[in-house]
Amino acid sequence: MGSTLLIGSCEPFSGKSALVLGIARHLRSAGARVLFGKPLATSLDWEPGEGTPPSPLIDDDVRFVGEILGLAEQDLLPSLHLLSAHSGKHRLADGVLTAGDGLDHLRSSLQQPDSGITLLEAAGSLHEGLLYGLSLVQLARDLDAPVVLVHLWEDSRSVDALLAAQQQLGERLRGVVLNAVTPEDVETLERDVVPALQALGIEVFGVMPRSPLLRSVTVGELVRRLDARVLCCREKLDLLVETLSIGAMNVNSAMEFFRRRRNMAVVTGADRTDIQLAALEASTQCLILTGAGDPLPQLISRADELEVPLLKVEQDTLGTVEVIEQAFGHVRLHEAVKATYAFRLVEEHCRLNDLFEAVGFEALAIPSN
């Protein structure tokens, strides 16, 4: 099925949406009609208590990509099922493991001669979605579609997951893009690791460096995860936090440390007014106060003046830090500034023409300048 491409990963939050954005913009520049969907919805602002899921079932990631690229509504493909504890419980109880008629309909629509180029984003890992009959391996088989993986690279141990994917996907795995590589290691990987992987039959289409921006989280997301009280600047909750600092040292050390950081969330005790004021004068996106007590009125006034959201949480500093650290790199790509950066990252670090040739899109390759 030369008009369809599956984008998958071996673990969640590997950068699939970023690659989809880069590929889709390239294809649209070549004049192709692009359709995008996630057969298994994994990102949806809906709770079981709200009644039935929305219809059509359009994943939030799909809507975001559609908005950024200006895709027509009919080019956003509905998901076949929603991955959730609620739906999983019912499928498990019923013993249903197949995707159902929706997959047959999707297969038929993809085979239409005027269907354009379809990009499908799989679930988070090779096995996620088995309960719904929609794992990456099942989709590749049932749609007879080529697969490109986005894979987080740490060191040589990261190869194991790729070898497992190669065994399960066989020749449908056309290649990989290595992502979140330490910037200073990119050149070494391209020189030493890429040829070694290719010798093992794993084509590498790109090596993308780790980006603090793409790993960042909005202040609003931190408010949600921490169940925090917003004391000022509620209109600034879309600010992006790239780094985390803990204000537990003396004020002179803190000021020196803060100067070396950028776009911080600073976590400190509610009683540390000296640290709080120092943080407000640095590159701080939000100030998070822990422990008992409320901040001084003059602190709130200064934060409001500098447009730095001030948050108050009930848990202690350690618990707060754990929640924030878990958030970095584990949020959806739902901000326009991240999408813009993703375009550039894919364009600069991926050999898209080689990727297109490997998956059957060679007619849509754009000549290099």
Q: What is the mean pLDDT of the chain?
A: 91
Given this model, what pLDDT does residue 368 score?
A: 56
Answer yes or no: are the C-beta atoms of 146 and 170 closer than 8 Å: no
Given this model, what pLDDT does residue 116 score?
A: 86
What DSSP character marks residue 250?
-
Nearest of 171, 103, 181, 169 to residue 137 by alpha carbon: 169
Q: In terms of DSSP bridges, do strands 81-82 and 147-152 run parallel, antiparallel, or are they unpaired?
A: unpaired
Token pair 């500034």 is at which residue?
337
Given this model, what pLDDT does residue 329 score?
A: 87
Given this model, what pLDDT does residue 249 score?
A: 60
Name the stretches of the chain with pLDDT < 50: 1-2, 369
Instruction: Please state, in angstroms and rounded to a whole number, the distance separating the CA atoms of residues 276 and 293.
Output: 14
Given this model, what pLDDT does residue 193 score?
A: 96
Which pLDDT tens digit goes with each residue over 68-93? 999 999 999 999 999 998 889 989 99
DSSP H helix total and E strand total for the chain: 16, 16
Q: What is the pTM of this model?
A: 0.88
Answer yes or no: are the C-beta atoms of 128 and 16 closer than 8 Å: no
Given this model, what pLDDT does residue 214 score?
A: 92
